[in-house]
Amino acid sequence: MFTGLIEDVGIIKNISNSKIEIEAKLDNIVKGESVAVNGVCLTVVLVCEYGFVADYSPNTDKITTLSKLKKNSRVNLERALRLSSRLGGHIVSGHVDGIAKVKEIEKLKQFYRIIFSCNENITKYCVDKGSVTIDGISLTLSSVSTLEFEVFIIPETFNNTIMQLKRIGDEVNIETDIFARYIEKFTNKKTNGITFEMLERNGFVVG
């Protein structure tokens, strides 16, 4: 489990044959622990002087942007959440739902405004003012439509993650809020008595 607060920007040393080697400044990494790489939860299989090595499955390769990384690519890194840690972002599983593309980037006075295009399988779990994880970064949605969504990013986040490297057309990993999926599953069950109308009536969701 993660929070979406990036701890370090790592550098790809090598990526091939479902194995990724990353140069990182994360302290006290141990074999077997989980690290989110651009929002993808990976298990450390080897710790070395410069960082760590992790494996990834064919399914991960299929639904994320990992296979598009190259030597010297920068990646967002976050270690798994400890129970004693503050939850500064939101609950992130590290299981990517799909890929979105950067459609527009606008530098404002105090923020960066970015619009991403994606398919409806992603936006159906997004709501205004809700949470989304973009390449491992916990962000708040400012607006959502059928095939795109918008976020505003503060300079601190923009300048200390790989978001600063993004250009129009670049792809990013997206993880939607897991609670939206739970609500969908519960409301689709006819036997448990829970409906969207009941949740709305009792203040759990806003219509």
User: Taking all residues of the chain, what is their mean pLDDT, rounded to a whole number?
Assistant: 90
Contact present, 161 and 76 (Cβ < 8 Å) = yes
Domain residue spans of the chain:
8-79, 98-182
Q: How confident is the model at residue 182 (pLDDT cuts 50, 70, 90)?
A: confident
Domains 8-79 and 98-182 share a fold: yes
Tens digits of residue pLDDT in 118-175 = 999 999 999 999 999 999 999 999 999 999 999 999 999 999 999 999 999 999 999 9
Q: Output the six-digit token pair for 136.
A: 């491992």
Has residue 200 got a pLDDT over 80?
no
Give the pLDDT band (50/70/90) at residue 191: very low
Q: Exposed (0-12), middle (13-18) or buried (19+): which is 100, by Cβ within 10 Å?
A: buried
Q: Does domain 98-182 have CATH number 3.30.70.360?
A: no
Average pLDDT over residues 66-75: 95
Residues 107-111: what's their mean pLDDT? 92
The pLDDT value given to residue 137: 97
Cβ atoms 138, 78 nearer than 8 A: no
pLDDT over threshold 60, residue 190: no
Class of residue 162 by CB neighbours under 10 A (exposed 0-12, middle 13-18, buried 19+): buried
Domain covering 8-79 in this structure, CATH number: 2.40.30.20
Q: At residue 88, does pLDDT exceed 80?
A: no
